[in-house]
Structure 1
Amino acid sequence: MPLAITMMAGPQIMSAILFVTTSRAVRVSVAFLLGVLVATTAGVIATRGVAALLGTAVAVDGESGGARTLSTVIQVALIIILLLLALKNYRGRAAAEPPKWLGTLTRASPATAAKTGLLVILAMPSDIVIMLTVGMNLEYHNADITAAIPFIAATVLIAALPLLGYLLFHKRAVSAMPAMRDWMNSHSWLINIIVCLVFVAIIARG
């Protein structure tokens, strides 16, 4: 679940919120969820293949001391990069703005929403690293893609929360979602910092 939350934190969940404020909220949101499902599944399959190609270089506690050293170096480097990104977001918080493309999603068609679902997963470096982590874990435990179903399902569930809120609490959601969208727009720097710190914790724990 922590990995799934991190997958959707930032522009990903902001996109899901924007889609439920459109005139065709259900159709557009479902298309977005399908895009997220396809992208996450394809990403995990691809990264497991990459992990298999890397072989012993992805081992966590195998016999190769060089593999363990490489793994440690990669983890430390990622943590340093993420901490620097968090610091950069904090220092630039006064001028921080959400991605401009988010503003176009309020007029999105189902096809655009599906494409957005694909891109917010496959084009986000943080999500690629998370899926690579899942793929490496599958390879290390010699597990097939079915072992990643809980992760994929949790990611789609997080993405579906705005739509579920819209369906369960329609009137309240209609009024609450724009306010939430505006808050996330004005606090995008804080969201980015939280994403960085959560990912640092995940890497350090691993």
Structure 2
Amino acid sequence: MSFLTVLPLAVVMVSGPQILSAIFLATSNEWRRNSLAFVAGAAVSISLVIGVAFVLGFGAVGTGQSRPVLHVLILVVILAAMVSTYLKREQSEPPKWMGRLERATPRTSLRLGFLLLGFFPTDVITSATVGSYLATQGLPLTDAVPFVLATLLLLALPSLAVVMLGDRAKTVLPNVRDWMNTNSWVVNEVVLLFFAGIVLNGLLN
């Protein structure tokens, strides 16, 4: 998979509560262990979803005459989600459990990374798409490694910022977090719009 394909898909994977959780954990009491555990949990779940999609050959469902129908259905769901996100923009707030992440433990962080990246709807669809694409194109499963690594790198950026910025990160990261909290609906719309573009491109091609 090319870099121009991998990077946008990786951005889709981390946009939303995923990157917000990474920022919260990077400013937590045990930020090193928590951030590492969070990324490790994400690595396991992403790889698992891709592997299952690859082995079961989910891509076969989208081939032949059923392919356009499948793409249209997915596109309708995405557009409905975009409308819903816009209508609820004034109510857009991060989940209450995020406020408790500053006191998280490595075990909690590991579980959170596994659940967020392995069961969040857009992440499941994206990872399954990668696995099924490789299966239908006759490519090896190892070709998914750049996608997984790019996603994990984006998740690790907040903790890497702490390493590079030191004490300045205590000011910078909360400001980034607050901006994303306030504008989370915009971020969600951009992610959904990008994903709609991918589906539309598949439908037209």
User: Relative to structure 2, which stretch is displaced further, 148-157 or 184-193?
Assistant: 184-193
Which residue pairs with 1:88 in the alignment?
84
Whether 1:155 and 2:151 are equivalent positions in the alignment is: yes
Partner Cα separation in structure 2 for residue 58 and residue 136 of structure 1: 9
8 Å CA contact retained: 1:58, 1:140: no
Question: What amino acid sits opposite 1:169 in the alignment?
Answer: L
Whether 1:39 and 2:38 are equivalent positions in the alignment is: no
User: Relative to structure 2, which stretch is displaced further, 36-45 or 187-196?
Assistant: 187-196
Partner Cα separation in structure 2 for residue 113 and residue 76 of structure 1: 37
Whether 1:58 and 2:62 are equivalent positions in the alignment is: yes
Partner Cα separation in structure 1 for residue 117 and residue 9 of structure 2: 13
Whether 1:130 and 2:126 are equivalent positions in the alignment is: yes
Q: Percent identity of the aligned residues?
A: 36
Secondary structure of 1:169 counterpart = helix
Which residue pairs with 1:29 in the alignment?
35
Instruction: Tell me by how many angstroms 1:100 deviates.
Output: 2.0
Q: How many residues align?
A: 196
Secondary structure of 1:22 counterpart = coil
Task: Choose the corresponding residue for 1:2, options 8, 17, 21.
Answer: 8
Deviations 1:5-58 (A, max 9, x none): 10111000111011111121111101111111111111110111232xx57433
8 Å CA contact retained: 1:79, 1:200: yes
**RMSD across aligned positions (CA):** 1.4
Q: TM-score, normalised by structure 1?
A: 0.90
Matches within 5 A, 1:87-106: 87-106=83-102
Which residue pairs with 1:78 in the alignment?
74
